[in-house]
């Protein structure tokens, strides 16, 4: 049985304006063939979603998480607000140190010292937090938490 990865979309910061004065952002997470979507946060450029989703980890060598932020539009197509990717392989490694430094690259849109830091979680789990800088946008940062069985 493959392990289950929990991904919590914590918050967004300094997201871009796509409507007249604000945006109505939501996040789409894709890992392999599994896709999850947060709720829409009306008129909010610094939303706090705090929503958790589960993904089965079927192949530890193919674990690229895709993150897209969209502006919900009542009429017409939704507007892209940025995207990011994160290679989850370092999180799935057996011996994670208190702080694991991962270089920004095509797969890792990391922000804030390019670090993945261990945070307190439930007993028997390893929990990591990462801040992702959005690409293809003027600004925007997403904070995500990842939880796996220890």
Is the separation of the CB atoms in 29 and 49 below 8 Å? no
pLDDT one-digit tens code per residue, 92-148:
765 545 555 455 556 666 655 445 666 677 788 888 888 888 999 999 999 999 988
In terms of CATH, what superfamily is 4-149? C2 domain (2.60.40.150)
> How many Å from the N-terminal Cα to the C-terminal Cα in the chain?
15
Mean pLDDT over 16-44 rounds to: 95
Which pLDDT score, from 0 to 100, does residue 121 have?
74
Is the separation of the CB atoms in 132 and 110 below 8 Å? yes
Which pLDDT score, from 0 to 100, does residue 118 have?
66
Dist. CA 99–CA 16, nearest whole Å: 30
Would you kindly state where each structural domain of the chain is located, as residue ranges? 4-149
Task: State whether residue 88 is helix, strand or coil.
Answer: coil
Which pLDDT score, from 0 to 100, does residue 114 have?
42
Which pLDDT score, from 0 to 100, does residue 52 have?
97
Dist. CA 150–CA 129, nearest whole Å: 15
Q: What is the DSSP letter of 22?
A: -
Is the separation of the CB atoms in 7 and 55 below 8 Å? yes
Which pLDDT score, from 0 to 100, does residue 108 have?
64
Which pLDDT score, from 0 to 100, does residue 113 have?
43
Per-residue burial over 85-102, b if 16 or more Cβ lie within 10 Å, else e, is bbbbebbbeeebeeebeb
pTM for this model (two decimals): 0.86
């Amino acid at each position: 049985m493959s392990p289950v990865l929990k991904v919590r979309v914590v918050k967004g910061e300094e997201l871009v304006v796509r409507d007249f004065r604000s945006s109505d952002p939501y996040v789409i997470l894709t890992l392999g063939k599994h896709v999850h979507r947060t709720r829409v946060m009306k008129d909010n450029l610094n939303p706090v979603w705090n929503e958790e989703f589960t993904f089965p980890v079927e192949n530890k060598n193919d674990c690229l998480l895709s993150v897209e932020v969209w502006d919900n539009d009542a009429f017409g197509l939704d507007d892209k607000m940025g995207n990011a990717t994160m290679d989850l392989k370092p999180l799935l490694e057996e011996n994670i140190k208190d702080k694991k430094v991962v270089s920004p690259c095509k797969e890792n849109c990391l922000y804030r010292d390019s670090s993945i830091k261990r945070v307190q979680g439930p007993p028997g789990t390893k929990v990591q937090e990462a801040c992702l800088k959005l690409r293809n946008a003027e600004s925007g940062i997403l904070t995500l938490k990842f939880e796996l069985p220890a």
